[in-house]
């Protein structure tokens, strides 16, 4: 499981945009988003953390690796 903190994610639209971006980067990935905690967790199938981070950035957000 790869986790990111995305503090500029603030609404349902943000959740959808990030989820879609991640699923385009890795179509088989399982994505869980906790909007209140600003946390995105991804169980990738093919992509690594740098690809997933880039997908979130391309969607217009600022992901930070979370422990």
List Cβ neighbours of 46 (8 Å cut-off, separation of 6 or more). Answer: 26, 28
Quick one: pLDDT band at residue 31, thresholds 50, 70, 90? very high
What's the pTM value of the predicted model, to 2 decimals? Answer: 0.93
Is the predicted pLDDT of residue 48 greater than 90, yes or no? Answer: yes
Domain ranges of the chain: 2-66
The CATH number that domain 2-66 falls under is 3.30.70.100
């Amino acid at each position: 499981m790869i986790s990111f903190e995305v503090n500029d994610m603030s609404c349902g639209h943000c959740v959808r945009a990030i989820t879609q971006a991640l699923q385009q980067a890795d179509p088989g990935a399982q994505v869980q988003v906790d909007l209140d905690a600003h946390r995105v967790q991804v169980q990738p199938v093919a992509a690594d953390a740098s690809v997933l981070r880039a997908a979130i950035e391309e969607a217009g957000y600022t992901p930070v690796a979370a422990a």
